[in-house]
């Protein structure tokens, strides 16, 4: 973080704010500075910290929030929570992707967020195949219903 901080300052010669967004699973780990001292010379960068785990009990709030970053935070939290539960992860992934449409985002924003959520919430191949079969079945039912009406 220090390198990015000073390089941005060096290039633009403007004040820089660095913020650490921590996506780890250790509730009490909250580094708030980086620094070193050597031969009487010292350097220190202090920064604010946001811990994604702090939002774990605010799922309903994150789902209701229109800010797309709330969907990313929720995707991260549910990825951690469903580490050993692929069916639940799949269900959350589908729920999150559907929610992107309700946030008033453009088609391109939805595509970009989908790519990120898809990457975060990776599913085992078996679960993907089952999901595709379910989607194909649902689509077949929709087609049949349209044909009968």
What is the 3-state composition of the chain as percent helix, strand, coil, each rounded to the nearest 5? 60, 10, 30
Instruction: For residues 18 and 49, state if they share a domain.
Output: yes
Q: Is there a domain that residue 113 lies in?
A: yes
In the predicted model, residues of the chain with pLDDT beneath 50 are: none
Token look-up 């708030």 returns 32
| The pLDDT of residue 72 | 94
| The pLDDT of residue 142 | 63
Where in the sequence is the domain holding 110, given as residue range(s)? 56-124
Instruction: For residues 48 and 61, state if they share a domain.
Output: no
| The pLDDT of residue 135 | 59
Q: Helix (H, G, I), strand (E, B), or coil: what is residue 148?
A: helix
| The pLDDT of residue 118 | 87
Domain count, the chain: 2
Instruction: For residues 61 and 96, state if they share a domain.
Output: yes
Report percent pLDDT > 90 for the chain.
58
Instruction: For residues 28 and 74, state if they share a domain.
Output: no
Q: Is there a domain that residue 92 lies in?
A: yes
pTM across the whole model = 0.75
Instruction: For residues 64 and 119, state if they share a domain.
Output: yes
Q: Is there a domain that residue 140 lies in?
A: no
| The pLDDT of residue 139 | 59
Instruction: For residues 117 and 106, state if they share a domain.
Output: yes
Q: Is there a domain that residue 21 lies in?
A: yes
| The pLDDT of residue 140 | 62
Instruction: For residues 111 and 60, state if they share a domain.
Output: yes
Q: Is there a domain that residue 112 lies in?
A: yes
């Amino acid at each position: 973080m220090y390198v990015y901080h000073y390089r941005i300052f060096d290039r633009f010669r403007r004040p820089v704010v660095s913020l650490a967004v921590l996506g780890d699973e250790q509730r009490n780990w909250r580094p708030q500075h980086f620094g070193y001292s050597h031969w009487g010379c010292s350097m220190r960068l202090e920064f604010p910290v946001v811990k994604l785990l702090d939002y774990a009990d605010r799922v309903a709030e994150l789902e209701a929030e229109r800010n797309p970053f709330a969907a990313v935070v929720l995707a991260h939290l549910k990825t951690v929570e469903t580490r050993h539960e692929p069916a639940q992860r799949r269900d959350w992934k589908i729920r999150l992707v559907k929610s992107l449409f309700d946030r008033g985002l453009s088609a391109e924003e939805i595509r970009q967020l989908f790519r990120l959520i898809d990457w975060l919430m990776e599913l085992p191949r078996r679960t993907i195949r089952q999901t595709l079969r379910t989607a194909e079945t649902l689509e077949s039912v929709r087609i049949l219903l349209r044909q009968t009406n």
